[in-house]
Amino acid sequence: MNFFEITQKQHNATKLAEFMQNLTYKIKEDHEMANQLSRIAEKLTELDAHFGTRWDRDFDFDEKKLISKCLKLMKGKSNA
């Protein structure tokens, strides 16, 4: 793999991050949730990149839980 190439896992994480960023615009009242989604999405864009974030060490339990919920939501919307 070349330095500039990304893995399928990184590509999927970036797609999920984009979906999560789009969700932040749909959240009207819960600013804390919108900010949390935005922060996690930013971390996802660097998942497994050189010197980037790692699933095991950089995401806590609550973040992983929220990511899983967003992934299910994204998959549900793509199947509809």
Are 44 and 24 contacting, i.e. CB atoms less than 8 angstroms apart? Answer: no
Kindly report the three-state secondary structure assignment for every residue of the chain: CCCCCCCHHHHHHHHHHHHHHHHHHHCCCCHHHHHHHHHHHHHHCCECCCCCECHHHHCCHHHHHHHHHHHHHHHHHHHC
pLDDT of residue 78: 76
- pLDDT tens profile 4-54: 678 899 999 999 999 999 999 999 899 999 999 999 999 999 998 878 899
Residue 67 banded pLDDT, cuts 50, 70, 90 = very high
pLDDT of residue 48: 86
The residue extents of the domains of the chain are 9-79
pLDDT of residue 72: 96
pLDDT of residue 1: 52
